Amino acid sequence: MDKDILNYLDKVGQYIQGASEKGFEIYVHGVFVESIALGISGLLVAIISLSILFWLQYGYWTSKKKGLSNGFRSDFFNAISTPTVIGTVVFGVLSVAGIVVMCDNITGIFAPDYVAIKEIVKGISGK
């Protein structure tokens, strides 16, 4: 009777080991996909923010050279970045945040198994 139970437990243990290996592979794949998605999102935020920042600065300096009122061509520019310093700060911070998000997730793209193990250990330790 004891041998039957031990054989059964061995079979169950092998099945659980196989399932856990496949589960880990799926988890690593999920970490990889999540890292790519967040990295691309951070890159897009940085590119869009920098584009808007350069567009605002270009519009400001171009209209300043042409001698238009207070450096802006129309009320449209005034509505977007009044004053210019606030627009510059907001889009500058968004650019930096996008770059930080992209850099934070780059490890998950090149070493997803490392990030997966790190997250599992973090989850087990409760930190």
Q: Where are the domains of the chain?
A: 2-125
Q: What is the structure's pLDDT at 3?
A: 72
Q: What is the structure's pLDDT at 120?
A: 79
Helix axes 112-125, 2-65, angle to 10 degrees: 110
Q: What is the structure's pLDDT at 100?
A: 93
Q: What is the structure's pLDDT at 89?
A: 80
- Phi, psi at residue 29, to the nearest 5°? -60, -40
In contact, 46 and 102? CB cutoff 8 Å: yes
pLDDT, mean of each 10-residue run, the chain (127 residues): 66 63 81 92 92 78 67 55 67 90 90 85 75
